[in-house]
Amino acid sequence: MKATLRTVRLTLAEPLRISRSTTTARDAVWLTIEHDGLHGHGEAVTSVYYGLDTGTLRQRLYVSGRDLSRFPDPESALREWPARGGKRDGQDDTRPPGVTAAVEAALLDLCGKRSGTPVFRLLGSESPRGTRSPGSAGSAGSAGSAGSAGSAESAGSSESAGSAPTARSAPSAPTAHTARTIGIVPAPHAAAQARALVAAGFALIKVKAGTPDPEDDLDRVRAIRSAAPGVRLLLDPNGAWTADRTRHLLPRYAELGVEAVEQPIAPGDPETLARLAERSPLPLIADEDVVNLEDVRRLAGRVHGVNVKLAKCGGPLAALRMAEVIAGSGTELMLGCLTASTLGLAPAVHLADRARWADLDGHLLLAHDPWTGIGGADGVVRASELPGLGVREKDAGAPGVRERGPQDVREQETRGTGGRP
């Protein structure tokens, strides 16, 4: 197998302000794995919060691509490669989860193309169902001790050959209503955005919060609620509140009809988060406090939901393990994302039928999405029935996407030669 890397600049349609930062653009590194004339693709994006800059991503993906050349085919790599992290040959090969997720996505894409199977079937999709609606699974107050809280796009490649793992059944492609994020903006602007989103078909909006004056956030939510009285609302302070402020504000947001609140307090104190959930008038979803499987075990049954992002946990297989841990505990699954292209979002969309809440709008925040294949502009994301991830790259050189030239990052090809990028 041969791996190549490309780096592009993704520009947002407008700055996205959250409680701790404002994002206007980020780099994406695309990994392509080639075997027997077929290609699998994956994406990793930079993140200040997770400490991933472009150079780190490229170096780690370079090492991972070199490592894949040791396997005879993508199927064996998919089975064995995730366990190969750590120190090897005297060198540190610890992989950031975002890198693991990108490699796993590319391998799944390639295995699916080799077998003519969409990724959701390789992963064993949930039982066939219609479009997953927000809040369609379970009740708001079902989380253990926290019980007091209330057609696929025809995009992609047709290339398929060889053999790969097959799923036990042939369910329909997952679809789900996705949340669409409104950042920290003036209330009139938020109201205008909400009206436009509802007109486009969105049934769920996520509102960013966490400004120094909590009344600013309340005004924004009131404006959105007035502009779109029937829309479902999620609130995300990104850990900006104290525990006392959380206790004070949750009843006020419950009165405004907010469906759930993500990570109200700073990460690092899951016990306090669990105690807040126990007495909360609306569901609390852990996000920054759940990174790995042990974090999920710690909070299973003690919060109402966990936000699983593939770039945070390490890919679809890790996400499935997390879903297994919370199954039956009363804690429900939310699938989230970073701002990324359709290529970066697609693996999560193939899991979307497993989640109560889908927040898979990262590609919709871009000025131009360089890939296509999962929909979302009408408020519904759709996994493709095509082999692999079912996505394809649009024409190169489109506005809003700048491929990093030789002066930025040099094009690489990794063939297991041991050379450095």
The verdict on residue 166 lying in a domain is yes
> The domain that contains 352 carries what CATH number?
3.20.20.120
Q: Are residues 335 and 317 in the same domain?
A: yes
Q: Is residue 419 part of a domain?
A: no
Shared domain for 347 and 209, answered yes or no, is yes
* Residue 205 CB neighbours (<10 A): 27
Does residue 82 sit within a domain?
A: yes
Question: What residue numbers bound the domain in which 212 lies?
Answer: 122-393
CA 146/CA 271 separation, integer angstroms: 12
Q: Do 94 and 126 lie in a common domain? A: no
For residue 275, the Cα-to-chain-centroid distance in whole angstroms is 27
**Do 189 and 132 belong to one domain?**
yes
Regarding whether 384 and 249 lie in a shared domain, the answer is yes
Residue 421 maps to a domain: no
Are 168 and 40 members of one domain? no
Query: Cα–Cα distance between 203 and 225 in angstroms, integer?
Result: 12
Q: How many CB atoms lie within 10 A of CB 301?
A: 18
- Both 367 and 242 in one domain: the answer is yes
Are 169 and 267 members of one domain?
yes
From first to last of its 421 residues, what are the pLDDT tens digits of the chain? 999 999 999 999 999 999 999 999 999 999 999 999 999 999 999 999 998 999 999 999 999 999 999 999 999 999 998 765 544 444 445 789 999 999 999 999 999 999 999 999 999 976 444 455 545 443 334 444 444 444 333 333 334 433 344 444 567 999 999 999 999 999 999 999 999 999 999 999 999 999 999 999 999 999 999 999 999 999 999 999 999 999 999 999 999 999 999 999 999 999 999 999 999 999 999 999 999 999 999 999 999 999 999 999 999 999 999 999 999 999 999 999 999 999 999 999 999 999 999 999 999 999 999 999 999 999 999 999 999 999 999 975 555 555 554 333 333 333 332 232 3
In a domain, 371, yes or no: yes
Residue 279 lies in a domain: yes
* pLDDT at residue 93, rounded to an integer: 54
Q: How many helices (DSSP H) and strands (DSSP E) are in the chain?
A: 12, 19
Residue 420 is assigned to a structural domain of this protein: no
Q: What is the pLDDT of residue 81?
A: 86
C-beta of residue 131 within 8 angstroms of C-beta of residue 176: yes
pLDDT value of position 413: 32
Q: Maximum Cα–Cα distance for the chain, whole Å?
A: 61
Same domain? 210 vs 82: no
189 and 58 co-located in one domain: no
Question: CA–CA separation, 255 vs 266, rounded Å?
Answer: 24
- Cβ neighbours of residue 146 closer than 8 Å, sequence gap 6 or more: 274, 277, 278, 280, 283, 284, 302, 303, 304, 330
| Residues 410 and 381 both lie in one domain | no
pTM: 0.86
Domain containing 19 — which CATH number?
Answer: 3.30.390.10
pLDDT of residue 365: 98
Report yes or no on 262 lying in a domain: yes
Q: Which of 379, 341, 385, 149 is nearest to 246 (CA)?
A: 149
Angstrom distances, CA of residue 38 to CA of 41, 75, 104, 375, 385: 10, 13, 16, 24, 18
**What's the domain count of the chain?**
2
The beta strands (E) that lie in 55-156 are given as 87-88, 91-92
Regarding whether 406 and 384 lie in a shared domain, the answer is: no
What is the structure's pLDDT at 171? 76
pLDDT at residue 130, rounded to an integer: 47
